Amino acid sequence: MDALSFSGRFDLAYNAAHGLALAALRATGHRSDKRYLVFQCLAHTTDLSKIQIRIFSRCHEKRNLAEYTGHNKTDEQLLTELILSAQALLKYVNEIKL
């Protein structure tokens, strides 16, 4: 995965995390058309820690900066935290009994 640019790796991890958060929200019977709400609702739809939820929020802010202003500063530590938090969210989603 190191062959991909930081932006490519971040986009893939962010979009995966968003998809997982959306799955967790929908599993509770809710919907949202606002990207930021999907992450904010994780406190109510999962057992993730406040720190993990804050990481998703920080990544959402970073994604918006890159998307709307072109500002995309490399932050490998944040990307690592995003991937680890997304893995925890994947574990939670895989355990949901639908």
Distance CA 93, CA 9 (A): 22
Q: Do 14 and 55 contact (CB within 8 A), yes or no?
A: no
Total residue length of the chain:
98
pLDDT for residue 97? 66
Amino acid identity at 48: L
pLDDT for residue 43? 92
pLDDT for residue 20? 95
Direct distance between the N- and C-terminal alpha carbons of the chain, in angstroms, rounded to an integer: 32
Which stretches of 4-98 are DSSP H helices? 6-27, 35-40, 42-45, 50-69, 76-95
pLDDT for residue 10? 95
Q: pLDDT under 70 in the chain at which residues? A: 1-2, 97-98
pLDDT for residue 75? 93
Distance CA 90, CA 70 (A): 29
pLDDT for residue 60? 94
Q: Do 48 and 85 contact (CB within 8 A), yes or no?
A: yes
Tokens for 70? 């072109």
